[in-house]
Structure 1
């Protein structure tokens, strides 16, 4: 890849800032708005702070906090300086965050105030500097100059740019395609966290694909940032694409309740909406479908001419819910309910389903809504190849294997996990079981992985919940499953302990207390909402693994 600005990821971002200098870039919910020129200046201010900290290219900067303007500014400042950003979900418990900060070898840790409250600085001894994202105050520092520079940042900035900060003062790191850009941790509760190493070529390839294939997104368009920026899905298409295009990003800055989301859509009127299935499914199954089952609507739907009018009205009302200006709603992160997908296609609602994984930064497949085929997850994106590990990919399910510019470098400091999924010639095993039709559309039939998607796009790994449950005195074995969008535990008690508690009611009461303790160690989005005590052991494979697919 040439060093031409458009052929580099940081070049796309730099160009996005230059070309939209006087436009708004970020707004916090009911908060202040930042212009692109101020965004550029804030990046330059942080570069002065990084100079003071004597950070070098390739040093690790950890970042953990709620979506907000300061998170985004810190992320782009660290990357454009040449450091490697480690993004961490703010919902993780303190122990998990500490595990990740230690594992990634971070020198600097930017933490949201609510994150800082649950972290013990003594447990992250190698971190030299901790800065609170909310107000950029110093929580820990070994550098005497840092306090002075932080307190006098405006004076230092004026010294460096005596004639004012102009578009020509933007100075970004010139990256190489294979250079490590960021480490994205999909989990942190185990002793060996998996940090996905995303190179610059992956960020460029994903962003360039979005620029070329989501052309209806224009300069100045409003975008609502609902998904966690610490995940590649939300980061890539709500943030990276938007900055490169010159859009105005609105951060919800809090738990995105349905009312807050609807208010944001009404205010911002986004042309592109990036969503997880739960948002769409809840609206359709709870509000739309029940209304269509009522009389006289149910009877009128049998009359072709009137049916079309009813569907057109439903489509119009649905679009109003999403702000009224949406050209396309991209659903990703997990499969959309088949019934909901068929209904949306029936009323010509502009939705599509994208597919990817963190290890591909994230895109593997996508198709524009007008040509999208129901139940598929699109076709292979540019600069990626796919193959199905099956003798007959059209009819016989096989594992999807991918290769191309989007793929990761591997897992940070975890050769064993890397070798398990990434072959020496670059083919990545996705763990997803698919078929592929003759036109290239991919259909996910099941996941060999067991990940559950949280309500706001967080990855939930049931094994980690089960590990905590199985450590409970009363539990023999357990499964964590999804029910009605929440985590439900299926528990087979330890039979020896059971003899001490012949009354089931006392087991239930005891288990409630134990689960309350387990929940204290889990992020809110994956806490156990309910449980069922089983009378029989789970069915097992010859290797004594529980047959998960039998239990929902």
Structure 2
């Protein structure tokens, strides 16, 4: 897709009456509304003196007008700076200062968060945007358009707002739109498709694949107001009957472990049957049909990315023929580097490289074939904003982007991820230990919610956040006195440790499990902030 956002918006030929973006249970913006809003907003920006290359920040939770602002800014030739709604006001101010933003679009909720910060730049409320008659729009202003090139900067995305740690990823028009084109090769969509948006739009995963991809094809996107509780989510699935969903592993893992696995292990006989491959496949297939029905019954694509998916959960999805696809990418790669259609998804693989990009394994281990995953293609970022030193560090001498992830590739080109390079632990016997793989094994236990592996001295230990619901039910059934609770949990943790060690090599054994009393702190993309626990 050799084009700019200006060409994308101007050449958009979807029916004006087709539904575009809307909140669950409320009126949708049609594609005619979106085009009208973009035109009037571009007029307003030009009237206010915005020039090509000026930075404009966007700070809001997911809502229909988010995409309108994004498309208006980028198609004008200005640079959009999306800010994750979870960022604190101090982090937002840091980003606004670092990016040199000239004005800010914010939702009412986020605008209130910034009131005490004393911002000097103009703030526009997203809720105030209204469609106007396109024929009556101020064409005099609109005719002042800026010549755009594919390699012009389109967006700056900050992975952190912390002072001294802000990394502004610079993505060009070519970077982003080439990745939209790559999505076509994985799954075909049309005006009939319905996306249900669950991830923050300020994250490039949701923005590229969950906003721009459906926009180019005239699909509709439904947003949920506020934090979706399990009840609200299930209601949304029943009403929207989505055909497309993008998610992080946490969502489907929770559903499987709380609603599906618990049933299989509730009785001794079903637990025994489930341990046998033939009956496991049959039980998974039956449960998968019920799960698909719970998702609205019309799901064609359930994209999973952002973190490793537990092997037990993937085994269930594979057996049940649930239409899942595991993708791989980073903010710096717009984001998609690899992915497959659900029909050819291979167990534990993140699929083939996108058709317009290349992947290679840098300095692979001679024995295992594992090395750093490196990428090249039109989707690779321009660099980090105002940071030439860190930009140089993430590119090889011959121009390949260093992902910082370890993996290997099969002869037929499929990619398998092992873990983050910086998380790699060297065992006492010199063997490489990939903590993510052991964590996946631990997390299969019905009493475990999440875990983090670390090394203390020469010992391998795990922090465990226990499943409070399961634990509470057990303690209630056993009628244990309060003073026995800690003793029971210690015994439980040791049983989990022994069970996990049965599946690990002799040189890689967990010496202890430590209870994590409160949930692990996470990034906006729901990854555990490992550095806090290591």
TM interval, short-chain normalised: 0.7 to 0.9
Compute the TM-score of the two structures, normalised by the length of structure 2. Answer: 0.75
Aligned-pair CA distance for 1:192? 4.1
Question: 1:308: how far off?
Answer: 5.6
Partner of residue 367, structure 1? 340
CA distance in 2: counterparts of 1:417 and 1:302, whole angstroms: 49
Judged with a 3 Å threshold, the aligned counterparts in structure 2 of structure 1 residues 303 and 191 are, in CA distance, closer, same or farther, namely: closer
Matched ranges for 1:315-464 at <5 A: 315-392=288-365, 395-423=368-396, 425-449=398-422
Return the alpha-carbon distance in structure 1 between the equivalents of residues 83 and 193 of structure 2.
28
Deviation (angstroms), 1:7? 2.6
Distance 2:187 2:193 in 1: 13
Return 5+ residue gaps in structure 1 as ranges: 1-5, 137-149, 163-168, 454-478, 487-514, 530-546
Does the C-alpha gap of structure 1 residues 411 and 292 become closer, same or farther in structure 2, counting only changes over 3 Å?
A: same
RMSD: 3.6
Residue 246 of structure 1 pairs with residue 246 of structure 2: no
Match of 2:186 in 1: 213
Aligned to 1:64: 59
Answer yes or no: is the 8 Å Cα contact 1:101–1:124 preserved in 2. Answer: no
Aligned match of 2:123: 130
Q: Show CA shifts across 1:366-392 (max 9, x none).
A: 112222221111111122111112344
- Provide the rounded CA distance (Å) in 2 between the counterparts of 1:442 and 1:43: 39
Q: Give the C-alpha shift of residue 397 in structure 1.
A: 2.2
How do residues 180-219 of structure 1 correspond to structure 2 at under 5 angstroms?
180-215=153-188, 217-219=189-191
Aligned counterparts of 2:395 and 2:255: Cα–Cα separation in 1: 39
Distance 1:311 1:120, change over 3 A: closer
Residue among 84, 87, 90 paired with 1:89: 84
Shift of 1:75: 1.1
Shift, 1:240, TM fit: 0.6
Structure 1 residue 178, shift from structure 2 partner: 1.1
Equivalent residue for 2:287, pick from 310, 314, 318: 314
Work out whether residues 223 and 247 of structure 1, in 8 Å CA contact, stay in contact via their aligned partners in 2.
yes
The CA deviation at 1:330 is 1.1
Q: Does residue 16 of structure 2 align to residue 38 of structure 1?
A: no
Distance change (3 Å), C-alpha of 1:267 and 1:315: same
Deviation at 1:154, TM superposition (A): 5.7
Counterparts of 2:161 and 2:464, CA distance in 1: 21
| Matches of 1:433 and 1:112, distance apart in 2 | 39
Compute the displacement of 1:15 (Å).
Answer: 6.6
Equivalences, count: 448
Match of 1:99 in 2: 94
What does residue 278 of structure 1 align with?
A: 250
Q: Which whole-Å CA distance do the structure 1 matches of 2:391 and 2:183 have between them?
A: 27
- TM-score (norm. length: structure 1): 0.73
Partner of 1:118: 113
Tell whether the 8 Å contact from 2:307 to 2:527 is kept in structure 1 after alignment: no
Checking the alignment, whether the CA contact within 8 Å between 2:241 and 2:299 is kept in structure 1 is: yes
Q: Which moved more, 1:390-399 or 1:315-324?
A: 390-399
Alpha-carbon distance in structure 1 between the residues aligned to 2:359 and 2:181 = 19
Q: Residue 4 of structure 2 contacts residue 149 of structure 2 at CA under 8 Å; is this kept in 1?
A: no
Structure 1's 254 and 450: CA in aligned 2 closer, same or farther, altered over 3 A?
farther
Change (3 A) 1:306 1:90: closer
Q: Cα deviation per residue 1:414-462 (whole Å; 9 max; x = unaligned)?
A: 1121111124643111111112222222111121356999xxxxxxxxx
The answer for the alignment partner of 1:534 in structure 2 is none
Hey, what does 2:501 align to over in structure 1?
none
Q: Which residues in structure 2 correspond to 1:218-233 (within 5 Å)?
A: 218-233=190-205
Structure 2 residue runs without a partner (length 5+) = 425-434, 437-460, 469-516
